[in-house]
Amino acid sequence: MTRFLVVLLALGWWQGSRADDKAPAARPNIIFIFVDDLGWGDLGENFQNGKAGKRHATPELDRMAGEGVRMLRHYCPAPVCAPSRSSLLTGLHQGHAKVRDNQFDRALADNHNLATVLKGAGYRTALVGKYGLQGKLTSGQGSPASWPAYPTKRGFDKFFGYVRHADGHQHYPGDRWPLGNNRGHQSPKELWHNDREISSALGKCFTVDLFTAFAKKWIVEHRGASPEQPFFLYLAHDTPHGALQLPTGPFPPGRGLQGGLQWEGKEGRMINTAEGRIDSYVHPDYRQAHWSEVERRFASLVRRIDDSVGDLFQLLRDLDIAENTFVVFTSDNGPHSESYITGQSYRPTSFQSYGPMDGMKRDVWEGGIRVPTLAWWPAGIPGGGEDSRPSQFHDWMATFAEAAGVPVPALSDGVSLLPQLTGRGTPSESTVYVEYSVGGATPKYGDYAAERQGRRRGQMQVLFHGGYKGVRTNVRDPGQDFEIYEVNQDPGERHNLAGTSAAFGTLNQQMKDRVLRLRRPDVTAERPYDGIAVPSIEVSGVEPGLRWEIHEGEFPWVPRLENDAEPDGTLASASLAEVPLPAGAISVARGYLRVPAEGNYGFHLETAGKAVVRIHEAILIDADFGYEGERRSSEINLEEGLHPISITVAAGADVEPDLVLEWTFRGETAAIPRTSLFRSGRE
């Protein structure tokens, strides 16, 4: 047994990463603008501005790009809505997230998420727009009291928007839409303001306008009531998804505090654009006779989003908070090919929304998972930059935690993107990983590679490793090779490097091994490789015992601490020997677990404190959020040999954690023997 005495002291702002006098102020406001089904190539500065023929424009987003950073290789965790939103909010990639594949309306895990972490840093939090992670009850039923994962039960102080996934398929919650191709797309939808359903008061309210006007209202009211408190706004639009509905009229004149979209709060005229005829306004730039109706609609929808972003930015300037507000704009996945209008179809080929790449929504080719992303923060991010390092949604947890001055939870998979965005510090390598399963095939679009057209999707997997992208589609054999591409120079994935040399053969095996080491199976989303034993590693010169470190500081949760400190000692005399710790400390034990034979091993943890255990990159046991001392167990299939293990333990000032970690193999449960724990000999 190991006894850890841990008390909590305060962390400093951006600890250790700022060496200049121009570091931004602590705790910026944070706004995350999330749109639905916008392709990488739909952003003007990414692709539209330089293409010939039919194109649309995003002038306000282009301005944001010029004042911030274009993230040219930012990836969604899966090429469809629900898993992307889950990984974004929880900071976990799809090898760990509890919402995978097409699990729409499944409950967001009751664990750390962006809202709870930022509330822990003193932020006021709001979710405006589309949610879809509330947890299902009977079809079409439910209320805030009965939905287990309602936003206000997941760290958000305020919620205004659509709860159910499918409700976001209609962009007029208070009106019947006669053009819809089925009843579900025609009928009004429930829209919730905290615990009140208010759709009956939202006649002629178009959701882009409605969500933006409410977001502006909320920011103004919060600034008036608590001007010193930073805020986190998750603004999740449900457009330009496949309903392709239009606003009632032109964007209102002006921007910001006095102009643009405004909240009026009157039943029947909740916002200042709730007038005229629903679904009627085509932007004048897109009224060309040779365009189809759905093309005019799509371009007008994107332009409305663009105008709303400009409106929001002007509000920040009017309130004199733009300088220290961190804004991210991105999309949940690649472009769609859907139209909910009876008798009319839409294809992303109209504007080549996937840019110079193959793939769209539900594909794991670059066009399906590489998403248009901009980061803007005048006090912290130099303008006009481009970031070509691969990164993914789960990195925003670590990024926002660092910006807010709190530690990153150990139960997260991302890295902070601040060094690459700000130009200060050394960037860390992001784990970019995708797994997703869906029927159907990649469309037969003429500008896609011939061998990719009509190719079955099925079980799909992507890993970026060693500077290359590995991708597998329609995986049936767990030993199936990855195709390997260097997508920085070959975004269209035209040159498969797998099998071209012995080096790429070695890389292929490394990819196969690593995907088994960084994920955990989920019975609700079974994969062909779930039953394969996690490969061990070869390490020379190991010595008995784990190394351990003590880190002082205040940690509101079990933190992720980097493996860059000198060890304070070793746990060599027993499986987990008693370690005397000073007041105000976190203990991390690291090293290798030697597994005597291949098989399924059960691990069991109990502690009066809190702890997170990982094997390789995979989360083995989570005993942090909501943990109250109960026994927690997890089973994992391990290959014989050495496996990296880390145990991070924390407790309150007056608690001795009394951590016990045992394992079960072939029906026998026992303490992990001292002969199974090792560290690198150089330590």
CB-based contact 664:602 (threshold 8 Å): yes
* Residues sharing a CB contact under 8 Å with residue 432, sequence separation 6 or more, in sequence order: 75, 390, 391, 392, 462, 463, 464
- Cα gap 408→90, rounded to integer Å: 12
pLDDT in tens, 594-644: 999 999 999 999 988 889 999 999 999 999 999 999 999 999 999 999 999
Residue 378 is given by DSSP the state: T
Question: What does the CA dihedral 75, 397, 212, 312 come to, rounded to 10 degrees?
Answer: -90
Looking at per-residue confidence, does 23 or 606 come out higher?
A: 606
pLDDT at 231: 98
The single residue listed with the structure tokens 């994969």 is 527
* Residues sharing a CB contact under 8 Å with residue 475, sequence separation 6 or more, in sequence order: 458, 459, 460, 461, 527, 528, 529
The single residue listed with the structure tokens 């046991």 is 621
- pLDDT confidence bin for 660, thresholds 50/70/90: confident
pLDDT at 571: 52
Question: Are 434-517 and 542-680 in the same CATH fold?
Answer: no
Beta partners for 538? none
pLDDT in tens, 193-222: 999 999 999 999 999 999 999 999 999 999
pLDDT in tens, 176-193: 999 999 988 999 999 999
- From the options 3.40.50.360, 3.40.50.280, 3.40.720.10, 3.90.1310.10, give the CATH code of 29-404: 3.40.720.10
pLDDT at 652: 63
pLDDT higher than threshold 50 for residue 20: no
Question: Which of 7-11, 39-43, 111-115, 492-496 is predicted least confidently?
Answer: 7-11
436: phi then psi, degrees, rounded to nearest 5? -165, 145
Tokens of 551: 């880190």
CB-based contact 75:322 (threshold 8 Å): no
Residue 523 is given by DSSP the state: T
- Cα gap 147→132, rounded to integer Å: 11
pLDDT higher than threshold 60 for residue 522: yes
- Cα gap 344→469, rounded to integer Å: 36
Helix (H), strand (E), coil (C) string for 140-163: CCCCCCCCCCCHHHCCCCEEEEEC
% of the chain surpassing 90 pLDDT = 84
So where are the chain's domains?
Answer: 29-404, 434-517, 542-680
pLDDT at 21: 40
pLDDT at 8: 24
- pLDDT confidence bin for 108, thresholds 50/70/90: very high
Contacts 24+ apart (CB under 8 A), 665-670: 665/596, 665/597, 665/599, 665/600, 665/601, 665/602, 666/599, 669/602, 669/604
pLDDT higher than threshold 70 for residue 14: no
User: Any idea which fold 542-680 has?
Assistant: Jelly Rolls (2.60.120)
173: phi then psi, degrees, rounded to nearest 5? -65, -25
The single residue listed with the structure tokens 């006894």 is 3
- Cα gap 421→394, rounded to integer Å: 16
pLDDT higher than threshold 90 for residue 585: no
- Cα gap 573→554, rounded to integer Å: 30
The type of residue at 562 is: E
pLDDT in tens, 463-520: 999 999 999 999 999 999 999 999 999 999 999 999 999 999 999 999 999 999 999 9
pLDDT higher than threshold 50 for residue 18: no
Strands 325-331 and 29-35: parallel
- Cα gap 667→4, rounded to integer Å: 29
CB-based contact 161:152 (threshold 8 Å): no
Tokens of 301: 């929808």
pLDDT in tens, 282-298: 999 999 989 999 999 99
CB atoms within 10 A of CB 139: 8
pLDDT at 609: 84
% of the chain surpassing 70 pLDDT = 91
Q: Identify which of 193, 199, 155, 157 has the alpha carbon closest to the alpha carbon of residue 176.
A: 199
pLDDT in tens, 535-576: 999 999 999 988 888 887 778 899 998 765 555 655 543 334
Strand extents, DSSP E, 373-466? 374-376, 385-387, 391-392, 433-441, 456-465
Q: Which CATH class is domain 434-517?
A: alpha beta
State the average pLDDT for the chain.
Answer: 92
Measured over the CA atoms of residue 320, residue 321, residue 324 and residue 325, the dihedral's sign is: negative
pLDDT in tens, 403-456: 999 999 999 999 999 999 999 999 999 999 999 999 999 999 999 999 999 999
Across 139-147, average pLDDT: 82
pLDDT at 573: 30
Give the DSSP H or E segment for 509. helix 502-517
